[in-house]
Amino acid sequence: MNYYSLNHKAPNVSFKDAVVNGLAPDRGLYFPENITPLPEDFIQNIDQFTKEEIAFKAIEQFIGDEIPKDILQKIVAETISFDFPVVPIDKNIGTLELFHGPTLAFKDVGARFMARCLGYFNQKNTNKVTVLVATSGDTGGAVANGFLGVKGVDVVILYPSGKVSDIQEKQLTTLGQNITALEVNGVFDDCQDMVKSAFLDTEIKRQLTSANSINVARWLPQMFYYFFAYKQLYKKHKNIVFSVPSGNFGNICAGMMAQKLGLPIKHFIAATNVNDTVPQFMKDGKYEPKSSQPTISNAMDVGNPSNFIRIQQLFDNNFSSLKTGFSSFSFSDTETKEAMQRIYTNSSYIADPHGAVGYLGLEKHQLKADEYGVFLETAHPVKFLDVVESTLDKKIAIPADIKELIKKEKKSILIASYKELKDFLQ
């Protein structure tokens, strides 16, 4: 499969080059040249297929012959080697739990798939590739874990000292092997600036790659769990509405891709925190990026969502057709906390702040009698322990593997300047 740049000023490339480049040379996002819907009888009989078969069918056309079938099957199976349950919240609402992976966030799916694809493409190279990422929290952990032990790939993660949660820090700093954590004396933007400088620095001889969320190998596998949710629900519920807590809009855009492949999804809701660039756009058709505001659902603090352009492409850049299948709403931290309390009081379910924003999206949509709403739980509530415990006034149980993780010894290298990063990379 070939991919073109949405800026239309760069050559079309193979899947492999789209994965290795990340972004096209004209700074555009890559988009597949063709999207072929899956056979109707496959969708109608989806409950007869395993999750590995479903995921393989969904992704196959986007890779083409660039990875042999048996290897792609193995990559897919390893990517999704955990559960994706839809848990009922009340009679017409359920939550799709995406936190059963190793770092307890949905980003595990994209990171694991990308890591294995890059590992495959790089296996014959004698030169190692270095994946360089800056993280404000969840991305770094998912990438580090996804790439752990992948041959031919080193991972260097920059994170702001004292600015990530304890669990997130341990997820970055305790893995060892091919993963190195650089603890930056600064804020997230300093980490990001250093990474950008390194990519532009011709004196660095290592081959650097990013594992950014715009990479096609992180975006596309996120389709899988929309199919898994549908398989669990379609015999009982006809009109499924997904509400996706959104920041960079990669997750929801993957759901829309699943719909394009023929998955019968009635409606999508993008629920955001006060970073409301897209909800504003849906009101007046004007896209005005803003600087991001900090919130309690901080993985969605994005003022200029990079994947929104892919959503517009899926709807042929037609505002009125976008409006029929998609709506977007923004919620404050106060509303989010009240929703967490409401979900807990009514259903004894502990939602994290991101999932609660998704739940608010369903409330605002006002489900019709024949609709079933699913909000995505994008992270486990323990990842946001302070907010969840103080909002619900309740201690929450820490899973056993997190208790083990917290006991592990942190290993990081402190740096304070770009020169120190450069010295490390040379």
Residues that bind ligand PLP (CB under 6 A): 105, 107, 138, 213, 245-251, 299-300, 354, 378-379
Helix 400-407 with 166-173: angle, nearest 10 deg? 70
Q: Find the DSSP H helices in 123-165.
A: 138-147
Q: Which is nearer to ligand PLP, 2 or 280 (CB)?
A: 280
The one-letter code for the residue type at 193 is D
Q: Is 319 left (phi over 0), alpha (psi -120 to 50) or beta?
A: alpha
Q: Which of 291, 213, 297 is nearest to 253 (CA)?
A: 213
CB of 332 to ligand PLP, least distance (A): 17
The smaller minimum CB distance to ligand PLP, of residues 231 and 380, is found at 380
Tokens describing residue 243: 């509400």
Going from the C-alpha of 315 to that of each of 8, 208, 210, 270, 297, the distances in angstroms are: 17, 34, 28, 15, 28
Nearer to ligand PLP, 165 or 239 (CB): 165
Cβ nearer to ligand PLP, comparing 103 with 130: 103
Q: Is 107 a catalytic residue?
A: yes
Find the catalytic residue in 51, 107, 170, 337. Answer: 107
Q: Can you spell out the DSSP letters for 383-419?
A: GGHHHHHHHHTS--PPPHHHHHHHHSPP--EEE-SHH
For ligand PLP, give the closer residue by CB, 38 or 379. 379
- Segment holding 5, helix H or strand E: strand 2-5
What minimum distance in Å lies between the beta carbon of 243 and ligand PLP?
A: 12
Q: How far is the CB of 297 from ligand PLP (least distance, A)?
A: 7
CA 389, CA 349: separation in Å to the nearest integer?
13
**Least gap, CB of 357 to ligand PLP (angstroms):** 8
Angle between helices 138-147 and 107-122 (to 10 degrees): 40
What's the min distance (Å) between Cβ of 320 and ligand PLP?
A: 24
Residues marked active site are found at: 107
